[in-house]
Amino acid sequence: MRIVPGEIKTSQLHAYLLGAVAPRPICFASTVDADGTPNLAPFSFFNVFGANPPILVFSPARRVRDNTTKHTLENIRRTKEVVINVVSYDMVQQMSLASCEYPAGTNEFIKAGFTPVESSLVKPFRVQESPAQLECRVLEIIETGPEGGAGNLIICEVVCMHLNEGVLNEAGQIDPHKIDLVARMGGDFYCRASGPAVFTVPKPNTTLGIGIDALPEPVRNSRVLTGNHLGLLGNSSAVPVVENISNDERLKELLREYDTAPEALRVALHQYAAELLDREEVALAWEVLLSDSNGGKELRG
């Protein structure tokens, strides 16, 4: 399917973009209008763009249907201040309610049932229910276009951060299962970033991984191992040399069972290695992949 912007309706392109570029973190922005009335609104065109100085960028885009702008953008143009609150699963329905297009001057803290807390360095209130609240001063607003759907990039610097200590682990780091964040997908879909949805990926080998191209040919061209499996193996510093049969009981069982069937053995070994790699047991996976019915000869073709 080939899509060229300008050849389809903006609303359709917008839907494809939101569905394809996801999940997106949610910027729950608190501002105040010229009269000091609080305003709350969520935006999913949002991310962090630096730590020194600490920079956040989000975009209250122009409405596609009628090319109007959001109250958040109008308030920020006047005050140059905003509090960005992150959204946890426990507050997602209230956050969604705050996204209703209430008339100007409506206090979404009241409408959505949130608790306003005075900020330390800026005028907009923080959302008490949010596990992390970032007070920001706006550095620049970049308009990307004048038509409906165009973004307004708000570049802001974090001047104070408030963090609920209950989301920290014993090492003082944010625990993804405790902070329990949600992210925006396309349409009505959201993503909960905790529980089984959270997984780890080892950081690239600092001594340089050998790469998938350097894997033994039967491993590289495996009909069982996936790209993710090969990526884990390719992050190794070297292809290990297996000189003795591993003490792993399941491996020993496979070597005995398929002693006279080398092709079937290879498939069985790769299936077992895939299970090990899914558990990130890379060292044992290598032993399995480089063992054959002779008990230690490398599977190099």
Average pLDDT for 9-19: 92
Give the tens place of pLDDT for each residue, 248-260: 999 999 999 998 8
**pLDDT (mean) for 262-269:** 94
pLDDT at 245: 66
pLDDT, tens digit (0-9, with 9 covering 90-100), for 15-67: 999 999 999 999 999 999 989 999 999 999 999 999 999 999 999 988 888 88
Q: Higher model confidence: residue 117 or residue 146? A: 117
d(CA 152, CA 19): 20
Comparing 161 with 63, the larger pLDDT belongs to 161
pLDDT band at 292 (very low <50, low <70, confident <90, very high): low
Percentage, residues of the chain above pLDDT 70: 95
Mean pLDDT of 72-88: 96
Question: Do the bridges between strand 152-163 and strand 116-117 make them parallel or antiparallel, or are there none, so unpaired?
Answer: unpaired
DSSP string, 107-149: -HHHHHT--EE--SSSSSPEETTSSEEEEEEEEEEEE--SSTT
Domains of the chain (ranges; CATH) run: 10-195 (2.30.110.10), 212-289 (no CATH)
Q: With 60 as the cut, is the pLDDT of residue 73 above it?
A: yes
Which conformational region is residue 50 in: left (phi greater than 0), alpha (psi within -120 to 50 degrees), or beta?
A: left
Number of residues that this document lists for the chain? 301
172-200 per-position pLDDT tens digit: 999 999 999 999 999 999 999 999 999 88
Does residue 293 have a pLDDT over 50? no
Kindly indicate the confidence band of residue 161, based on its pLDDT and cuts at 50, 70 and 90: very high
Predicted confidence band at 299 (pLDDT cuts at 50, 70, 90)?
A: very low
Q: Which residue do the tokens 């001047």 mark?
A: 159
Q: Tens digits of per-residue pLDDT, 196-242?
A: 999 888 777 777 889 999 999 999 999 999 999 999 999 999 998 87
Over 80: is that where the pLDDT of 288 sits?
yes
88: confidence class by pLDDT, cuts 50, 70, 90: very high
Q: What is the mean pLDDT of the chain?
A: 91
Q: How much is the pLDDT for 297?
A: 46
pLDDT of 295 higher than 60: no
Cα distance between residue 185 and residue 273, in whole Å: 33
